[in-house]
Amino acid sequence: MSRYAPEGLKESEGGAAPAPTAGPRLGVVGWLRWAWRQLTSMRVALMLLLLLAVVALPGSFFPQRPQTPEAVAEYLETNPELGPFLDAIGMFDVYGSPWFSAVYLLLFVSLIGCIVPRTFAHAQAMRAGPSRVPRNFARFPTQTTVRTRRKASSAVGAAEAVLGRGYKRATTTRDDGVVEISAERGYGRETGNLVFHLALVGLLVVTAWGQLVQYRGQAVVVEGDAMVNSAVDYDTFTSGAWFDSDSQEAFRIQLDEFTSVFTEAARPDAFTADVTLTRGDGETSTAQIQPNSPLSVGDANVYLTGNGYAPVITVTDASGDVAFSGPVLFLPQDTAYTSTGVILVPDANRGEPQLGFSGQLFPTALRAEDGTVLGSTFPQPNDPVLILNLWTGDLGLDDGTPQNLFVLDTEGLEQAMDVTEDGAEFPLELELEPGETVELPDGQGSVTFSELRRFAALDVRWDPSVPWMGVFAALAFLGLAASLFLPRRRLWLRIEPGESGTVVHAAALARGDDPGLQRELDRVIDAVTKKTARPEAKNDG
């Protein structure tokens, strides 16, 4: 027999040991059991948690269609080759993509499969009581043996008294009179660990639920105007798949006045929107909305997210009819609130030609020596000036192509020009101040800048999961604190009575590193022996 062959294994006739036989095949059930064990392991749960953070990153780099559909349209227009590919793989709706949902679901299943068995095992361990006293204490790094003149019964009573504070203990008396005491504390450590992970599962559940039932709407309201909490009255509105319109709180918000405060260095100091709130039952009240102080209406919150200027413009056409009248939103472009806007007048001249204006608003105009407006020096409307450029032609509003209403599409339009004394042409600029009217060239009508109002951008959000997120976040914090700071300790005492005194053997064990374990053991021994002990052996580990 070969010296490498196991004993009892005969060699084959050719002198070589037979090849090892293959193990049993796992089969479908076996592979499924193996996959489930891998999925429900803690290391896979941590990997999935990291993977969820990774797959969420594209939502920070690319515009998301549920939040800013106009930004997605602009990205697709400016990136005609890469844009469609990114759209096909879900980069513009990351949190609703199949791959993000798959990772989210796998993480949820992994945590459930990992935590539930541990929870039952922990509950059984708590009901079972302390572990049995080991036979040999010498194998523990933290142990000691002392002799005391106290009677064994007195030592046992002292041990039970000191271990009764915070320890779950069990006392057993052997046939030879030796008393063994087993004590454990720190069940809260494992409980905290389980609470932490269960809170993470709760966060996953309520986050998913909130995304399914929530709604969010954005509306721009000009001073004197109002918005209603209805999907059709918002400029943009998004909701979850389980959204129920009956969950919307019935209310109306009118913007009475918007005020802003800036420092001398043109830095924003305060923004306040004074509003009149009318509830569904007809109750009316006044309120203020500030950036860090939203207005709560039922379960919905109304946030102030932006502001700007809205000059009130009236345009008459060549026949003298009013073709347009109302406030126009001009969006701030810098810290001095230099703002740009577009005025579309498709009804001018019965559509032949239509009129379009692109312009800039300077709240506090800075002028050159010749009177030319160079820019704005301060955000407040100390000297507002509106400069418009005129375009004529077909505005393209009737062909169904979506347009950015804050940028004038000049394709197919003709710009109105002015001529200098030497015959040079340059774009016509119409300069207006509040209360002024200017005539359009060639008798095409007039433009009146009536007054300058403010607008506020309001964001209305309803997400019933937010309070529950706070609850589960607090539970996760408390559970994590308990799992990190509560010591898990086991103490064993063997008290042996004798004619010359009582011998006390003690050992302690902790889960993980516990610098206070030796001090805890010494505290118990001091209480048992009343410091009258003579140490026979001691190992601090």
Both 369 and 491 in one domain: the answer is no
One domain, residues 259 and 369: no
Name the domain boundary from 76, 91, 124: 124
Closest CA to 72 of 81, 57, 89, 84: 84
Of 191-205, 311-325, 435-449, the least confident: 191-205
301 and 325 belong to one structural domain: no
User: 3-state SS string over 48-117?
Assistant: HHHHHHHHCCHHHHCCCCCCCHHHHHHHHHHCCCHHHHHHHCCCCCHHHCHHHHHHHHHHHHHHHHHHHH
Percent pLDDT > 70 in the chain is 91
- Residue 134: DSSP 8-state: P
**Angle, vertex CA 532, rays to CA 526 and CA 533, nearest 5:** 75
User: Highest mean pLDDT range out of 3-7, 393-397, 450-454, 494-498?
Assistant: 450-454
> Looking at residue 62, what is its pLDDT?
87
pLDDT for 400 equals 59
Task: Tell me, yes or no, whether 194 lies in a domain.
Answer: no
Q: To which residue do tokens 């040991």 refer?
A: 17
* CATH code assigned at 511: 3.30.160.110
Q: Are residues 469 and 517 in the same domain?
A: no
For the stretch 461-479, pLDDT in tens is: 999 898 999 999 999 999 9
Distance, in Å, from the CA atom of 122 to the CA atom of 196, rounded to the nearest integer, reads: 14
Report which of residues 452 and 62 the model is more confident about. Answer: 452
Which range marks the domain in which residue 333 is found? 309-453
pLDDT at 55: 87
Q: Would residue 329 count as lying in a domain?
A: yes
In three-state secondary structure terms, 537 is strand
Of 76, 97, 124, the domain-final residue: 124
Q: How far apart are CA 498 and CA 508, in angstroms?
A: 24
Residue 83, domain member (yes or no)? yes
pLDDT at 433: 94
Q: Checking phi first, is residue 320 left (phi over 0); if not, alpha (psi -120 to 50) or beta?
A: left
Task: Look at residue 521 and give its three-state secondary structure.
Answer: helix
Same-domain check for residues 171 and 222: no
Question: According to the model, what pLDDT value does residue 15 have?
Answer: 53
- 8 within a domain of the structure (yes/no): no
CA torsion sign for 353, 74, 333, 228 is: positive
Within the chain, how many helices (H) and strands (E) appear?
Answer: 10, 27
Is 35 a domain residue?
yes
One domain, residues 135 and 109: no
Residues 403 and 318 grouped into a single domain: yes
The answer to whether 455 and 299 have CB atoms below 8 angstroms apart is no
* pLDDT on residue 12: 45
Taking the CA atoms of 358, 363, 366 and 367 in sequence, report the sign of the dihedral they define.
Answer: positive
20 falls within a domain: no
For residue 101, the model assigns a pLDDT of 86
Per-residue model confidence as pLDDT tens digits over 48-65:
888 888 888 888 888 887
Same domain membership, residue 110 and residue 74: yes
What pLDDT does residue 258 have? 96
Same domain flag for 396 and 316: yes
Q: What is the model's pTM? A: 0.68
Nearest CA to 413 out of 433, 388, 395 is that of 395
pLDDT tier, 402 (very low <50, low <70, confident <90, very high otherwise): low
501: left (phi over 0), alpha (psi -120 to 50) or beta: left
Q: Which residues contact 79 (CB under 8 A, 6 or more apart)?
A: 86
Lowest model confidence (mean pLDDT) among 49-53, 77-81, 123-127, 267-271: 123-127
Structure tokens at 471: 């609850």
- What is the rounded distance in angstroms from the CA atom of residue 47 to the CA atom of residue 51? 6
Consecutive H or E run containing 479: helix 465-485
Asked if 294 and 332 sit in the same domain, the reply is: no
pLDDT digits (tens, 9 = 90+) for 483-513: 888 888 899 999 999 877 889 999 999 887 8
What is the DSSP annotation of 333-355? -STT--EEEEEEETTGGGGTTEE
Residue 77 has pLDDT above 50, yes or no: yes
Query: Cβ–Cβ contacts within 10 Å for residue 458, how many?
Result: 25
Q: What is the pLDDT of residues 342-401, one digit of tens each?
A: 999 988 877 678 899 999 999 999 998 888 888 999 999 999 999 999 999 888 776 656
Q: Amino acid identity, residue 355? A: L
**Helical packing angle, 98-128 and 42-55, nearest 10°:** 150
The count of structural domains within the chain is: 4
Q: Which long-range contacts (CB under 8 A, 24 or more apart) does 62-71 make?
A: 62/86, 62/91, 62/92, 62/94, 63/92, 64/92, 64/93, 64/94, 64/95, 65/92, 65/93, 66/93, 66/95, 66/96, 66/238, 67/238, 69/236, 70/404
Burial class (CB in 10 A: 0-12, 13-18, 19+), 234: buried
**Same-domain pairing of 352 and 430:** yes
Residue 271 has pLDDT above 90, yes or no: yes
Torsion, Cα 526 532 538 541, to 10 degrees, reads: 20
**Does 120 or 273 have the greater pLDDT score?**
273
For residue 419, is it within any domain? yes
pLDDT band at 431 (very low <50, low <70, confident <90, very high): very high
For residues 11 and 174, the model is more confident at 174
pLDDT of residue 23: 55
**Is the model's pLDDT at 459 over the cut of 60?**
yes
Separation in Å, CA 98 to CA 40, 90, 101, 208: 21, 8, 5, 14
C-beta of residue 211 within 8 angstroms of C-beta of residue 192: no
Q: Note the pLDDT of residue 399.
A: 64
Q: Identify the pLDDT of residue 5.
A: 45
d(CA 298, CA 296) in angstroms, rounded, equals 6
Mean pLDDT for 147-154 is 87
Task: Locate 364 and state its tokens.
Answer: 């506090």
Give the C-alpha separation, 337 to 381, whole Å.
9
- Is pLDDT of 14 > 90? no
* Residue 191, in any domain of the structure: no
| Rounded CA separation 371/373 (Å) | 6
Distances (CA, A) of 149 to 382, 401, 498, 501, 537: 95, 99, 10, 5, 17
pLDDT of amino acid 436: 94
Mean pLDDT of the chain: 85
Domain boundary among 124, 146, 170: 124
Q: What order of strands is seen across the sheet that includes strand 489-496? A: 168-173, 179-185, 489-496, 502-510, 142-148, 534-539
Q: Are residues 332 and 433 in the same domain?
A: yes
Span 228-247, pLDDT tens digits: 999 889 988 888 888 888 87
pLDDT classification of 26: cutoffs 50, 70, 90 = low
